[in-house]
Structure 1
Amino acid sequence: MRADHRRLRHDRRRARPGRRFTAPAPNRLWFCDITQHRAKDGWVYCAAVIDAFSRRIVGWSISDRITAEIVVDALEMARWRRRPEPGTVVHADRGAQYTSWLFGHRLRQAGLLGSMGRVASSGDNALIESFWSTMQRELLDRTNWDSRTQLASAMLEWIEAFYNPTRRHTALGNLSPADYETLHTPAATAA
């Protein structure tokens, strides 16, 4: 029993990314978080999963309620799209949705390693916080949203039609997340 406990502590320490926001390949390190924005008829919540390798949003979910299901839906989309190997580190803050039994259970079922930031330290999740800041500046603050439906559609379109395929990043050599992955993955170099 003691050996299992020590191994678990070691695995958790190894899983913590600290403030390293890069990965040597896709699907090794993911960051998760939730943001919210107001429309005239109420709040819209968006949960996302970002891959540290390419800064690509690999999973997301949008809802008018902030529950554990929204973060699980984003994780499930990421798993479905990317099919990560067991051992992928999934880092989140200590929000109630990420500390929920449901989220932890899904991580364990998939063989993913959960990681949590320190209490009151947004710096541990800076990669996805930067994504939210970009979305805020480039999309959300530019319009007064009439409805949650309009806002949710705009978020979805911004992620899938602009951010992932088109938006350039200086950290990626001025490539978009999709272009960076195409250029820097083994399948791309073998072709």
Structure 2
Amino acid sequence: MGIVASAKRIMRLMTRHGLVPLSRSAKRYSSYKGEPAKAPKNLADRDFHAEAPNRLWVTDLTEFSIPAGKAYLSPVIDCYDGLPVAWTIGMSPNADLANGMLADACSTLKDGGKPIIHSDRGCHYRWPGWIRICKEHGLTRSMSAKGCSPDDAAAEGFFGRLKQEFFHKRSFAGVTMDEFIGMLDEYMVWYRDRRIKTEFGTGIMDRRRGLGLVA
């Protein structure tokens, strides 16, 4: 009707008259497909702190929906300082996406590095390929309780920051899937190498260099 009003005024009027907006909540991607076999114990037990690198890793999959289609990110995060150790991005949340990420992460381990790898109960982390990679590199598997997101809070928190900084309130109209995947990969590299972490007052990699953990 051409009437301009502030959002706060609209909210007050709606509250006064008992009006509720019709909205569609975003659907969170879930890879849970039931219980194919007995799950490992939850060794993390919601304590996502580690005294040194490569003691405790967390992983999960998240979905990005843009006009051109859907993309999926599979990272592994080191609970020592939040470093994205490795990640894969693809257009299908399949076993290759998760297994490729884990293999890349394991390739960074030095002799004696055998972290706990904590995940939710997604099917990707129950399939033979994932279990084989864990056994080959001496990783200990840990899993959340069924449908309990606080058990995977470290991964959820990472995705929350990522989407707040990179994805939400941003238009990807006209962006192809290849372009989007490239943009997301660039963000992940920036997050790992340059993003300032308030807790440290510097970037994660710069802090590791200062501690002599990386060259």
Matches for 1:80-119 after TM superposition, within 5 Å: 80-83=107-110, 85=112, 87-119=114-146
Aligned pairs, number: 174
Q: Which runs of 5+ in 1 are unaligned?
A: 1-11
**Secondary structure at the residue paired with 1:60?**
strand
Match of 1:73 in 2: 100
Q: Which runs of 5+ in 2 are unaligned?
A: 1-39
Offset, 1:47: 0.1
Distance in 2, matches of 1:119 and 1:73, equals 25
Which amino acid letter does the alignment assign opposite residue 103 of structure 1? W
For each residue in 1:135-186, what CA deviation from the matched residue of structure 2 results, as whole angstroms up to 9, or x when unmatched?
A: 10101124322221121111100011x211222223x423321122223355
Match of 2:179 in 1: 150
1:164 lines up with 2:164 in the alignment: no
- Aligned residues of 1:27 and 1:84 also touching (Cα < 8 A): no
For each residue in 1:62-106, what CA deviation from the matched residue of structure 2 results, as whole angstroms up to 9, or x when unmatched?
A: 110111111111111111123463531000100111121211111
Match of 1:36 in 2: 63
Runs of 4+ in 1 over 6 A off after TM superposition: none
- Aligned residues of 2:88 and 2:97 also touching (Cα < 8 A): yes
Distance in 2, matches of 1:32 and 1:101, equals 17
Which amino acid letter does the alignment assign opposite residue 155 of structure 2? I
Which amino acid letter does the alignment assign opposite residue 154 of structure 2? L
Higher RCO, 1 vs 2 (CA within 8 Å, ≥6 residues apart): 1
Answer 1 or 2: which has greater helix percent. 1
Q: How many percent identity over aligned positions?
A: 25
Alpha-carbon distance change, 60 to 186 in structure 1, aligned in 2, over 3 angstroms: closer
Which amino acid letter does the alignment assign opposite residue 152 of structure 1? I
Match of 2:160 in 1: 133
1:25 lines up with 2:52 in the alignment: yes
Distance in 1, matches of 2:103 and 2:111, equals 11
Match of 1:3 in 2: none
Max radius of gyration: which structure? 2
